[in-house]
Amino acid sequence: MNYDDIIGHKTEIESLQRAIKNDHISHFYLFEGEKGIGKKATAKVFAKHILCKAKKDDGPCGVCSSCRKFESGSHPDYLEIAPSNGMIRKNEIDNLIKQISFSPFESAKKVILIDDCEKMNKESQNALLKTLEEPPSYINLILVSSNPKLILNTIISRAEKIHFKSINANDMVEFLIKKENIPLERARIISDFSQGSIGRAFELIKSDEFIELRDDVIRLVDYCIFGREYEVFEMSEKLAKTKEISENVLLILLLYLRDVYFYKFTQNDRFLINKDKVDLIKKHSILEFEKINDIIKKIYFTKESIDLNVNRELLIETLFFNIQEEY
């Protein structure tokens, strides 16, 4: 893998390339940004670049012994830590600290990547902090986080922060068409629903169920409009089967209502996300702007309640009956 394999993040990658070119690599980085947008992929290429023996400015060579070992997962100077059962515990950090104390085996540097670092418990973070106060000169530590608010300020203050933004929609569509051979119309749908997350996009590529779920949600909106209460009750159970499905339902509903709102305001279907549903969007645009905003507020309330483990089926059912009342 090389920088060319990463979608977007051109500015961030150029900054990392300059650091290597000018030999100004920080001992400690924090890669922060939304989940699934390519932070870890970039961190791994950067680690591979640091360890590469060819010392090329634009990226790892891919052919030296260091690059080959990195790709095979056997590089002795690269260590990667990720949560186990949702947490990174102190004993794992203690083991990491021992590894840090040993000089590199083959390279001038030793690179350590901690993924989802916000899942270190308090004891783990405090243990890591002691090492960060006086890191060995040969260490480069990269923390990757989707929620840096959970990390101690005393750790964050020592890091060079690289903020990753959501991937541009056009870049996502181009990648899906060229690299994944996705038809244009489906690529656009996947791009819009992934909300700038390449990880999310890959999940949707593999999921025929998502397209079916989108059809079910939009059909249910139609049922709400025309008062078919039995179907609303029957489908709500299906749409709340798991937390993941419930979250997808809310996202689909939110973006669909965005389309209804946009079409009602502009009478133009050019920028709709659900372009293949334009006839239904026109049909559903009878809803008043104020009522659309009310439903959107209820969607956010439902999402927050699901996050708090309130009964999903009841929440989804109540949401759609509320939508029915708004029409």
User: pLDDT tens for residues 228-281?
Assistant: 666 666 777 677 777 778 888 888 888 888 888 988 888 888 778 888 888 889
Domains detected in the chain: 3-165 (3.40.50.300), 207-326 (1.20.272.10)
pLDDT of residue 232: 67
pLDDT for 229 equals 64
Smallest CA-to-CA distance from 110 within 120, 130, 96 is with 96
- Predicted pLDDT of residue 327: 59
Regions of the chain short of the pLDDT cut 70:
207, 227-233, 237, 325-327
Q: Is the pTM of this model over 0.75?
A: no
Q: Where are the alpha helices (DSSP H) in the chain?
A: 10-21, 39-51, 65-72, 90-101, 122-133, 153-156, 169-178, 184-194, 198-205, 208-225, 229-239, 243-266, 278-284, 289-307, 312-326
Strands 110-114, 139-145: pairing is: parallel
